Amino acid sequence: MRKLILFLLLIILYNMGCDKNTQQQNIVMIQEIQRLIENKRFESARIAAIDTLDPNIKTLYYKADDKLGHASHLDVRCNERIEEILYDLVKEIPAKNVKTNRDVYSKLVGLYPENDLYRKKFIYYDRRMRGKKQ
């Protein structure tokens, strides 16, 4: 984790400009990437760091990434937007709507199976739903 943070910060520092406006923008970007890492949104942090690269370097990065078979940055951003919409939606759903909560958390687990919160919430609502049916 420390290596990832250091790598992302080095990319940003490498691309820092000399003028104060650019430096302020880079500080904001660093803080945003740190927040993403703290929230365990590593792919988002990686993409944000990549977006700070020179356009030519970024193009080469995407070509190499494509050959490795990783999800494209557009796919990742699409999934993140879906996650954001679903998570905002599920926060508004009353807990008594067990099936709806279970279904939304099921979709979130499908997008990010490594996310403990989504898995725990899905299991919780799934058990409650099965308990009601019995």
> Given a cut of 60, is residue 70 above it in pLDDT?
no
Q: Average of pLDDT values for 37-60?
A: 75
Domain residue extents for the chain = 2-70, 74-133
How many other β-carbons are positioned within 10 Å of the β-carbon of residue 122?
A: 21
The answer to whether the CB of 90 falls within 8 A of the CB of 101 is yes
Per residue in 88-116, is it b (16+ CB within 10 Å) or e — as a string?
A: eebeeeeeeebeebbbbbeebbeebeebe
Amino acid at 10: L
Q: What is the pTM of this model?
A: 0.47
Between CA 19 and CA 110 the distance in angstroms is 44
Report the pLDDT value the prediction gives residue 93, as an integer from 0 to 100: 93
Could you read off the pLDDT of 104-130 as tens digits, one per residue? Answer: 999 999 888 888 999 999 999 999 998
